[in-house]
Structure 1
Amino acid sequence: MNKLISVIIPSYNVQEYICDCIDSILSENLENLEIIVVDDGSKDRTVDIVREKYPDIKLITQKNQGPSKARKVGLEKSKGEYILFIDSDDYVEKNYIRELYEEIRKTDSDIVVSPVKYYDGVDYIEVEEKKYDNETLEAESYLLDIFKGQHITSCSNKIYKKNILMGEIFLEKVKHGEDCYTLIKALLNSKHISFIKKTSYIYRKNLNSLTNRKRIPIEDYEVVYNSLEKELKKNKELEKNIYIFKYNFLYILIRSKSIFSKRVLFDKEYRKIYFNYLEDIKNGFIDGTFGNTEKEKSMIEFRKKGVILSELFRLITRLRKREKRKYGKN
């Protein structure tokens, strides 16, 4: 007997992409599937499109409260024994859900992970992540590799047993970086994970998204980091790796999202937390001795240099501005 799969789609102002997302799911023609769209207060035609084109899909609307709240509401309304989260401006390759489902049934894992490809409207680029020889892996081992920056921290390219998503799995107070918290909480509730290799989750690099159009509030990331740090300190083995987690969390969730516009360097709130973390590097808490292989060590060393170079850039910029003011130049 096929067990029910629930696909939860949080949506917000995605009238251009919502059909691509839903159609990619429906193309699999799975009978044991429910799709739940939770609209987070869209101001465009997203809700109208779902109502008109997909009358059989469960649609829930709420005022704008962020993706975590939308995922939580969707989970509460879901009836499936297995859960997938798919972002509404993304889509999946053919047989994606089928392969995840077959793998989780075959291995009895708590989570199954798929590859991710970025799509910019022209090209598809597969995200490089650490590969494993074994079919299944202890969840803690995967979590430690996340700390080392060897995996993306999205909660979307996975299928979960519903029972590991119970409890305080969502951070409703924030709207950015919240999926990292959900993923790590799910991993802390898990024993084993496994992987599929053929089909991929397609992450659309939407240049009109909130993340790309507006300054990402650093307060959100502070909440996410502090919340995760409390969870990790409950586990002695994971607590040993707290600094490598701290550094890669900064690198992945702050620096990589803002480096193109130099927001880290020019925004007071960004600089405050950015250079607090830099102090850890200067004080020797984070250095090239972390990691089990030479590749890992060199990766961390390279990132450390990148942070320090960014600080030098900031100081040079300040000097230039001071000189311009001194000589009355615009």
Structure 2
Amino acid sequence: MSKISVIVPVYNSEEFLTESINSILNQSFTDFDVICINDGSTDQSLRMLNNFKKRDSRIKVIDKENSGCGSARNVGIENAEGDYIYFFDPDDFIREDAFEKLYENAKNNDSDMVFSQISWYREGERINLDKPGIELEKEFDDVDFNNFTFTYKDIPRYVMNSYFAPWIKLFKKDFLKVENNFRFQENIAFDDVPFHVETIIKAKRISFVPETFYQYRTSNINSVSNTSTNSIDILRICDIVENILKQNNIFEEFKSYFYEFKIVQLILYVISSNSEMYYKSVKYELMKININDLNLPENILERYNRLVNSKNYEEYLKINNVQQPPQVDLTKLNKELEDEKNKLKDKLNKIIKNNEKLQLDQQEIISSQKEIVLENDRLIEEKNGLTNERKELIRENEIIKNKMEIIENEKHQLERDNDYLITSNKTLKEYNANINKENRELKNENKSLLKNNKELKKVNDLILSSNSWKLTKPLRSIKSIFKK
């Protein structure tokens, strides 16, 4: 498990992808993994991601059908295993010491989320570090941010009227996935706004690194913020944010901040939408707001009144010194489109012919490949046959080796038994010699006893036959009586 999981949603980003991914891989902090989610790209993005994956084992590539940035980020969250999660967009890049300093701050403070500063730039222009997006150091006097945490209550204006992008924050994974179940809104633009509001009001420990790490590219036409067709989604986003505040019982506390956010966000896309319908929808929403109850900045009130007091979209554009797009000559445009269509048909016919030739070449290649595959299969079969024979020889060799070990063990046992028998035989011989010696001594003693017995018998016979023995017989009888 790595310390940081970097989540990168990718859609048609081939132009900037190499620079962006390299800025991640070149970090001074190396204990991280990168989860790249290809969201149905139609350019070379997926091929480029797979090439990066081959070069660096820290990269994981997930390919999915196109369903928007929110969905792709959610897939990343589900697959994240690092202690912390960092979101990254594939058209931007990041300073090489970013992960090192963000992780150090997060660990020192046991943070649920860590903020950092941001800079904007256009391709070919100097990166402007003089105007950092988030200046939280101005909210707190003389603090050591390496050992300092706070909550949304300390920075209420940053809950909505601030910078919603997830790539200026490092999140603790358990805070997102275990303690809560935070996910991005799907199938809608500006999905990072509700995510920001939900996470910041739930975080118990927020910290800040007062340095600019992330370089945000403002000139990418594929960026969500540059897509005017998504402007209608901001109406839904405002409703979602309002519901979040009410569900957490803090709407009244943030009422002025919320309506300031709503006015700014809705008006922001009126001109770029180029839509009378969107203009009317915004005007309707703004007129429902009772601005007299709110403490709104003067510049916000001015923008509010400018739109609400305009009669129609055309007048609103004039008030803002914006010219409406010129009327288009449809007849001329249709003719140009027809000419272009014919040119495309010619190109298509050429492509079809070339494709037919390529198909023939491809069939020849496939035929050759089949022959190669068959030959390869034959070689594999031969190799498998040799391998089986080798395995059998190895098995027989193991059997013989085991038998040799058994024989060798039996030999050693016989040698030990023989030594024991020799020793036992020697002992028995010594014992037998001692027995024979004792037997001879007993025989000699027996002869001596027999000889003594004969002599004693003779003496006894002499005594019994003597007159003294006869005369003393009565006395022996009397003695025997007294003994009784």
The Cα of 1:239 is off from its aligned counterpart by 3.3
Residue 141, structure 1, aligned to residue 150, structure 2: no
- How does 1:1-330 map onto structure 2 within 5 Å? 4-55=3-54, 56=57, 57-121=59-123, 122-125=125-128, 126-132=131-137, 133=140, 134=143, 135=145, 136-141=148-153, 144-147=156-159, 149=161, 151-166=162-177, 167-211=180-224, 214-251=227-264, 253-256=265-268, 258=269, 262-263=271-272, 266-281=274-289, 283-288=291-296, 300-312=297-309, 315=312, 317-318=314-315
**Inter-partner Cα distance in structure 2 for 1:15 and 1:110:** 33
Please report how far the alpha carbon of residue 114 of structure 1 lies from its aligned counterpart in structure 2 after TM superposition. Answer: 0.9
By relative contact order (CA 8 Å, sep 6+), the higher-ranking structure is 1
2:7, 2:76 within 8 Å by CA — same for their partners in 1?
yes
Pairwise CA distance, 1:6 = 0.2
Distance of aligned partners of 1:152 and 1:142 in 2 relative to their CA distance in 1, 3 Å threshold: farther
- Assess if the C-alpha contact under 8 Å between 1:8 and 1:83 holds in 2: yes
One-letter code aligned to 1:216: T
Shift of 1:242: 2.6
Question: What letter is aligned with 2:48?
Answer: I
Measure the CA separation in 1 of the matches of 2:174 and 2:22: 28
Shift in Å at residue 238 of structure 1?
Answer: 4.6
Residues of 2 paired with 1:283 and 1:110: CA distance? 35
TM-score (norm 2): 0.57
- Bigger shift: residues 310-319 or 238-247: 310-319
Q: CA RMSD in A?
A: 2.8
Contact 1:281/1:304, CA 8 A, preserved across alignment = no
- Distance in structure 1 (CA, Å) of the matches to 2:317 and 2:245: 43
Alpha-carbon distance between aligned partners in 2 of 1:71 and 1:250, rounded to the nearest angstrom: 28
Distance 1:146 1:5 in 2: 25
Name the structure with the higher helix share.
Answer: 2
The residue identity in structure 1 corresponding to 2:239 is N
**1:9–1:36 CA contact under 8 A, matched in 2:** yes
Query: Would you say the 8 A contact 2:151–2:201 is kept in 1?
Result: yes
Do 2:159 and 2:197's aligned partners in 1 also have CA atoms closer than 8 Å?
A: no
Secondary structure in 1 matching 2:229: coil
- Shifted more, 272-281 versus 102-111: the winner is 272-281
1:170–1:178 CA contact under 8 A, matched in 2? no
Give the deviation of 1:27 after TM superposition.
Answer: 0.9
Following TM superposition, by how much is the alpha carbon of 1:216 offset from its aligned partner in structure 2, in angstroms? 3.3
Q: Distance in 1 between matches of 2:187 and 2:281?
A: 17
Distance change in 2, residues 1:283/1:112 (3 Å): closer
My pick for the range that moved more, 181-190 or 107-116, is 181-190
Per-residue deviation, 1:158: 0.8
Give CA-to-partner distance per residue, 1:93-142, whole Å, 9 cap, x none.
12011110000001111111110000111132334434232433432226
Aligned residues: 304
| Higher Cα radius of gyration | 2
Residue type of the alignment partner of 2:68 = G
Letter matched to residue 233 of structure 1: K
Question: What stretches of structure 1 of length at least 5 have no aligned partner?
Answer: 289-299, 322-329
1:226-275 Cα deviation digits (max 9, x unpaired) = 22222211333453213421321441x4433x36xx135x4134223421
- Give the secondary structure class of the aligned counterpart of 1:115: strand
4-13 or 279-288, larger mean C-alpha shift: 279-288
Could you tell me how far apart the structure 1 residues matched to 2:316 and 2:96 are? Answer: 54
Give the secondary-structure state (helix, strand or coil) at the position aligned to 1:233. Answer: helix
TM-score if structure 1 supplies the norm length? Answer: 0.82
- CA distance 1:222–1:9, shift in 2 (3 Å): same
Quickly say closer, same or farther: Cα 1:314–1:40, change in 2 above 3 A.
Answer: farther
Change (3 A) 1:163 1:112: same
Percent identity over the alignment is 23
